[in-house]
Structure 1
Amino acid sequence: MIIHQFDQTNSILNSFIAEIRDVNIQKDAMRFRRNIERIGEVLAYEMSKTLDYDPKEVTTPLGAKKSFLCSDKLVLCSVLRAGLPLHHGILGYFDGAENAFISAYRNHPNNDDAFEVIVNYFAAPSLDDKILVLTDPMLATGKTLENVLKALKGHGSPKQIHIISVIGSKTGVAKVAETFPQNTQLWIAAVDEGLTSKGYIVPGLGDAGDLSYGGKL
């Protein structure tokens, strides 16, 4: 897997990462969602540099100009519900992309630290010969994306897979690298060192879904 990690380079992206981590700024859910969107926009732009482009002549009021436009067909697939702000940010740059959504959640059957990832909703177009972009803001253990990959197998064979994530753990990144095809590319804003016993990233930022849309039972 090819890993593109951006927190090691000084850029405005680091400001967005810092704000989504800050416990005081997190109290503003609208600002939190917007910062996730902005991170998605930056990562989408960086990813766009790797896609295929064809020449096209564009007619202006005063003449014509040849431009090079993306020729790849994209499918954006996001994990509900935490992935929605990230999805919106990426879709703002790839507005012609098709969309897919999958529901995945952690189930603790014994009310302890052990958990399994349950997938119980999935809607997607055909993936044949398309660029599949998986978006999940928190790449913690990697189990969610592993289960998402299994669910996608009946929807065709993508030309290539890209994963866009905001914050991951070293364990999660390693798990995805082990699970996904070798030519998969991961675009991630930051990678943290640790995980709690319940599989949450440390220092991370908490629960991205709750911070975006409120708590749940």
Structure 2
Amino acid sequence: MPELPPNVHISSHPCLLAKLSQLRAASANARETKALVHEISTIVGCEALAAGLTVKSGPPAKTPLGYEYTTTTISPSTISLVPILRSGLGMLDAVQNLLPNPVPVHHLGLFREPTTLEPVEYYNNLPYHRPSAGTPSNTPNSECSELAVLLDPVIATGGTCAAAIQTLKEWGVKRVIVIAVLGALPGVVKAAEEWPEGVEIWVAGVDESINDKGMIKPGLGDVGDRLFLTIGK
């Protein structure tokens, strides 16, 4: 496989690779698919957050025995989770469970136009989208998180992921961590090059190509359809 950009990280965790193999199987039903996506997201998310977060000291507290200790929290202090609808919802619980405190969840709805395979945004609930007319481009968005964790199970053509990254960049985040289950090589490269200095992509596995319908080969099929039993819609 050709060399990937330095901001792309493919997991080599043995358990994760075995679970990814199980997820590929057409015989996996919706319940099994949901469980495997959750478990894979937990492992990849743990690796991504270990590299992308740091710790800082908090206020003092006491143990049940009365001993005082210095609390520990994570940095940055403002983080948002951004699942891409629909399939990103299957990853949400896993990453929420990894974080020590609740954080905002902002949904992005994107789909690929069937003919052109270009991304189309149909839903965006970021609290602030773009500066109003006359606002200087360097004015900070006070409602924006320092870090956005983008949840996109499959990066096929890379168009949807790249569009979501651009949206988050325009929103004003300083960094984006993308967590994915599977990517196609050309799509992962496209997404990684959208904002190289601000994006890190963490993925369980990468296949080499896509077919003429923009699906990864051998891939996982349509994860959203598999999760929500809408195959053949």
TM-score between the two structures when normalised by the length of structure 1: 0.88
Query: Helix, strand or coil for the counterpart of 2:144?
Result: coil
Residue 84 of structure 2: aligned partner:
79
Contact 1:4 1:188 in 2 (8 A): yes
Residue 120 of structure 1: aligned partner:
122
Contact 1:36 1:166 in 2 (8 A): yes
Q: Distance in 2 between matches of 1:121 and 1:59?
A: 45
Residue 3 of structure 1: aligned partner:
8
Query: Helix, strand or coil for the counterpart of 1:54?
Result: strand
Q: Is residue 69 of structure 1 aligned with residue 73 of structure 2?
A: yes
Residue 131 of structure 1: aligned partner:
147
Q: Is residue 105 of structure 1 aligned with residue 108 of structure 2?
A: no
Letter in 2 for 1:187: W
Q: Distance in 1 between matches of 2:154 and 2:25?
A: 16
Contact 2:83 2:108 in 1 (8 A): yes
Letter in 1 for 2:74: C
Contact 2:182 2:205 in 1 (8 A): yes
Question: Of the candidates 47, 53, 56, which is equivalent to residue 55 of structure 2?
Answer: 53
Contact 1:98 1:125 in 2 (8 A): no
Unaligned runs of 5+ residues in structure 1 are: none
Q: CA deviation at 1:135?
A: 0.9
Q: Distance in 1 between matches of 2:197 and 2:9?
A: 14
Residue 16 of structure 2: aligned partner:
13
Contact 2:155 2:187 in 1 (8 A): yes
Contact 1:99 1:125 in 2 (8 A): no
Q: How does 1:62-211 map to 2 (within 5 A)?
A: 62=65, 63-72=67-76, 73-94=78-99, 95-109=101-115, 114-125=116-127, 128=144, 130-155=146-171, 157-211=172-226
Contact 2:148 2:173 in 1 (8 A): yes
Letter in 2 for 1:70: I
Q: CA deviation at 1:108?
A: 2.4
Q: Distance in 1 between matches of 2:86 and 2:215?
A: 17
Contact 1:133 1:162 in 2 (8 A): yes
Q: Return 175-184 or 28-37, whichever deviates more.
A: 175-184
> Which string of whole-angstrom CA distances, capped at 9 and with x for unpartnered residues, describes residues 63-90 of structure 1?
2333432032211101100111112211
Query: Helix, strand or coil for the counterpart of 1:37?
Result: helix
Q: CA deviation at 1:181?
A: 3.4
Q: Distance in 2 between matches of 1:65 and 1:38?
A: 33
Q: Is residue 41 of structure 1 aligned with residue 42 of structure 2?
A: yes
Contact 1:101 1:122 in 2 (8 A): yes
Q: For the aligned residues, what is the CA RMSD? A: 1.9
Contact 2:7 2:196 in 1 (8 A): no
Contact 2:37 2:181 in 1 (8 A): yes
Q: Distance in 2 between matches of 1:10 and 1:164?
A: 15
Q: CA deviation at 1:16?
A: 1.7
Contact 2:184 2:206 in 1 (8 A): yes
Letter in 2 for 1:141: T
Identical-pair percentage: 26
Q: CA deviation at 1:129?
A: 5.0
Unaligned runs of 5+ residues in structure 2 are: 1-5, 129-142
Letter in 2 for 1:103: G
Kindly tell me the number of residue pairs found equivalent between the two proteins: 208
Runs ≥4 residues deviating over 6 A: none
Q: CA deviation at 1:154?
A: 4.7
